[in-house]
Every structure is written in structure tokens, then in C-alpha cells.
Amino acid sequence: MTVKELAQKVNLKAVNDIHDKEVHGVFISDMLSDVMAGAKAGNVWVTVQTHKNTVAAANLVDISAIIIARGKSVPEDTMQMANRVGLTVFTTDLDSFQVAVQLYEAGIKP
């Protein structure tokens, strides 16, 4: 499944350009060190962190997209950095657990 297909199935709102990469799983954590140590290339990352270091960590691991849970707003510098590295950032009003359920129902598994 691609990032664009996932956004449609889970009703995610892109806050920057959509960079349509393949999605091969999900990783949920609010700690950047967890992502760098445990996420896999192609994962979509669910977090509440919105600062630009999330983009740096996601880029390091080759995350397909970041989903910001709980309706958090994303700073402009985070969106700009995400566009520079070709990473889509989505927002949703759902909490991380609700996002996990929807991703699972859409066929995205850890």
C-alpha cells in the first residue's frame, strides 16, 4: 500500500506535500530514540511529537510517513524540512491507539 492509499483509507490530513512511498508496517512511539532503534524502513510512524527532530529521526530510518496524533498542530519549519527530505506528515484528531486500530483494519501491521 502507498502513503496516498493509506491516507484515503484512514482519513488522514496531509500538512505538507504527499510523497507517495510504499508502506510496510507501523511503528508507534513518542521517543525519537525508540524510532531510531526499532523502526524499519517503510514503516509509518505514529507520534504526538511535532518538532523538526521527528523528521530527522524518520529520515534516518527511511520512514514512509509520519502521523501526528491527537490533533497536534505541526510547525512550519517541520513541514518545510519534511518536504526537503521527501517525507509526508499527516495529522489526525484520533489518539495513537485509535490510529493503530485503523491502520490494522486497513491492513498495516507492525
**Per the domain annotation, does 52 fall within a domain?**
yes
pLDDT (tens digit per residue) in 88-99: 999 999 999 999
User: In which residue ranges of the chain is pLDDT below 50?
Assistant: none
pLDDT value of residue 84: 97
Strands (E), 1-110: 13-14, 26-28, 44-47, 65-68, 88-91
The answer to whether residue 110 is domain-embedded is: no
Reported pTM: 0.96
Q: How many structural domains compose the chain?
A: 1
Q: What are phi and psi for residue 65, nearest 5 degrees?
A: -165, 160
Q: Does any domain span residue 53?
A: yes
Residue 50 has what pLDDT? 98
- CA gap 88, 31 in Å, rounded: 19
Confidence (pLDDT) at 27: 97
Question: So what's the pLDDT on residue 55?
Answer: 98
pLDDT attached to residue 110: 77
